[in-house]
Amino acid sequence: MSDYRLWLAAIPQPLAEPDARVYWNLKDPTSALTEALAGAAYLYVGSWQETHVSERPQSGRSPAVRLFDLLFLRGTIDGYQAPVLDPRLRDELSALYRPRPGDLPSDSVAADALESFLTRHMTWCLLPEETPPTGL
């Protein structure tokens, strides 16, 4: 069974739509995308396995998979983009990160570490990454 890991990459500038399209469609990265991710601030959020995934977005049985689902939807619905971290998105991410009765055991960072990261990077754009750049 595969383990998936979630790192939040906070980038200070929005991605152009073509670069965001490449990102979300898992194509070879553009130079702008590579540069943005190289300069990003990263936070390890947690991991999950296939058993944690739900057919309904944002209802996965792990905090990390719920955050990934929301960022994927925000990044691909109504045009390709890197979602901008505003108070509404911060609150949604925080709410989805809270443990739920049906959650399966999984690796997760402390909620206060997530809150601190989100607060420090308000107005930045967020992308979910499986691995950070080397050196982290």
Give the mean model confidence (pLDDT) for residues 123-132.
Answer: 92
In a domain, residue 56? The reply is yes
Residue 6 lies in a domain: no
- Whether residue 68 contacts residue 57, with contact meaning beta carbons closer than 8 Å, is answered with no
Does 4 map to a domain?
no
pLDDT digits (tens, 9 = 90+) for 86-109: 999 999 999 999 988 888 888 899
Average pLDDT, the chain: 89
Domain boundaries, position 123: 11-129
What predicted TM-score, i.e. pTM, was given to this entire model? 0.88
Give residue 10's pLDDT: 97
Report yes or no on 80 lying in a domain.
Answer: yes
Q: Does residue 1 belong to any structural domain of this protein?
A: no
pLDDT tens for 24-61 read 999 999 999 999 999 999 999 998 876 655 565 555 68
Q: How far is CA 117 from its chain centroid? A: 12
2 part of a folded domain = no
Domain membership of residue 71 (yes or no) is yes
Q: Is residue 42 part of a domain?
A: yes
Is the Cβ–Cβ distance between 65 and 14 less than 8 Å? Answer: no
Total count of domains within the chain? 1
